[in-house]
Amino acid sequence: MKRALVSVTNKDGIVDFCKGLVELGFEIVSTGG
């Protein structure tokens, strides 16, 4: 499985971005900040 580490300061649009990654087969790893 492919993984994507997501760490951003501006969270605008991040939900749609992550949904797109999941649709492409990525597992999301978030820093949780």
Per-residue model confidence (pLDDT) at position 5: 95
Per-residue model confidence as pLDDT tens digits over 1-33: 899 999 999 999 999 999 999 999 999 998 876
Per-residue model confidence (pLDDT) at position 33: 65
Strand partners, 5: 29
- Per domain, the residue ranges of the chain are 1-33
Per-residue model confidence (pLDDT) at position 25: 98
Phi, psi of 24, rounded to the nearest 5 degrees: -85, 0
3-state SS of 1-33 is CEEEEECCCCCCCHHHHHHHHHHCCEEEEECCC
Per-residue model confidence (pLDDT) at position 31: 80
Whole-angstrom distance, CA of residue 15 vs CA of residue 25 = 15
Per-residue model confidence (pLDDT) at position 13: 95
